[in-house]
Structure 1
């Protein structure tokens, strides 16, 4: 029997917010500074969930220990900080989902591997006020370790298995599964071409954020 849930927690980039347009801009801006032509936006979108290092590798075909990698990574982060939330927005269907959660007195939160330095101003710029925000700064072990969801449960005053966790990466689902949370794989997110979402063994899979509402209803 399913345990009634008290909250829904989301990964940030690629699950709750479509931040890829900002990363497309800043990576191609950095390539322009280095005298290179722009990359196709699809390749960048599919890499966003892997972080700044992966974007530098994609943009410049460099390994992390290659000379020149770290200055490019730092410059990418500077550009991102300067253009934070210029084009980012919640995915289609998220606004209706938040209204549904509020109407049903369910809390919602964010658990992300994005540093607080970028997460807090991004949410503020978009006038979003989650009931909890978990960043790597707040835990000793980031996702896929379940510590983020244990902390979310503590802050939301519930048990981890009373939280649905939604994410677009295998580490999100592993984090939720290890914590005992029901999990939803967001197939509309930033999925690498070589990823097989079904291998993540999430409890549910959605192709659009609007499909999350009926799943949540099933846990009430």
Structure 2
């Protein structure tokens, strides 16, 4: 009787592990700061509003870190002297101007299209769960060529709750017919990871996205931390689903 084959080790073990890796059944993504670099559009909006008020244009960096936090946070960065009530009052103007700038300046992050193509090639469904108003997210889809590729889209006003509540993630999974534990959620903000954990989804922290200086992605305890979309072209980079 021959002896059992020795378990692979070192480089051979790594190669074996990667050969057995599989893409997940479904991946849900945040939009701004994860799939889409929308900061240039947001800067155009902020500077148009500043110009109307006799203020000079602002630079990208003070605004960029706030993009994933929403329109109120961006207004706070563009107009630091505004109180909370004024920020709330200016949100409709910000969104109206953003609708006019939609897709004119921003673009998918480098490597996103190749990552999406790899998922599609493996038969993985992908969709978007964003806190952006749904009507704005839907208007972006044909501009990006994603209108027939994105399997589900949930906006911040689609349901009764938004991230970090898990409801948008669980509803997105239900709509594509995949149980949450078989989906992976990818986002660049702590609330993305909180929502994924509460929904029972493995999560990926998109380190290429927008973060404030004091943000600590390691403390969010996502299942994987990825530096660029290009790393997710290979099946071995995705966390395991259950």
Q: TM-score, normalised by structure 2?
A: 0.84
SS of alignment partner, residue 138 of structure 1: coil
Give 1:85 deviation, angstroms.
Answer: 0.7
Partner of residue 109, structure 1: 127
CA contact (8 A) 1:46 1:191 kept: yes
Partner of residue 176, structure 1: 196
Give 1:137 deviation, angstroms.
Answer: 2.7
- CA distance in 1 between counterparts of 2:167 and 2:194 reads 11
CA contact (8 A) 1:4 1:162 kept: no
Deviates more, 1:120-129 or 1:9-18: 120-129
Within the candidate set 19, 24, 40, 1:5 is matched to 24
CA contact (8 A) 1:3 1:162 kept: no
Q: Please give the residue correspondences for 1:90-105 in structure 2 after superposition, counting only pairs within 5 Å.
A: 90-105=108-123
Give 1:206 deviation, angstroms.
Answer: 1.1
Partner of residue 88, structure 1: 106
SS of alignment partner, residue 137 of structure 1: coil
User: For the pair shown, which has the larger CA radius of gyration, 1 or 2?
Assistant: 2
**Alignment length (residue pairs):** 217
CA contact (8 A) 2:202 2:241 kept: no
Within the candidate set 24, 34, 52, 2:53 is matched to 34
CA contact (8 A) 1:11 1:168 kept: yes
CA contact (8 A) 1:27 1:59 kept: yes
Give 1:74 deviation, angstroms.
Answer: 2.3
- CA distance in 1 between counterparts of 2:99 and 2:218 reads 34
Residue segments in structure 1 that go unaligned for 5+ positions in a row: none
Partner of residue 44, structure 1: 63
Give 1:212 deviation, angstroms.
Answer: 2.0
Query: Are the structure 2 counterparts of residues 160 and 218 from structure 1 closer, same or farther at C-alpha, using a change threshold of 3 Å?
Result: closer
Partner of residue 156, structure 1: 176
Work out whether 1:63 is the aligned partner of 2:83: yes
Work out whether 1:204 is the aligned partner of 2:224: yes
Residue segments in structure 2 that go unaligned for 5+ positions in a row: 1-20
Deviations 1:185-210 (A, max 9, x none): 01110111110111110011111111
CA contact (8 A) 1:176 1:183 kept: yes
4+ aligned runs moved over 6 Å, structure 1 = none
Q: TM-score, normalised by structure 1?
A: 0.92
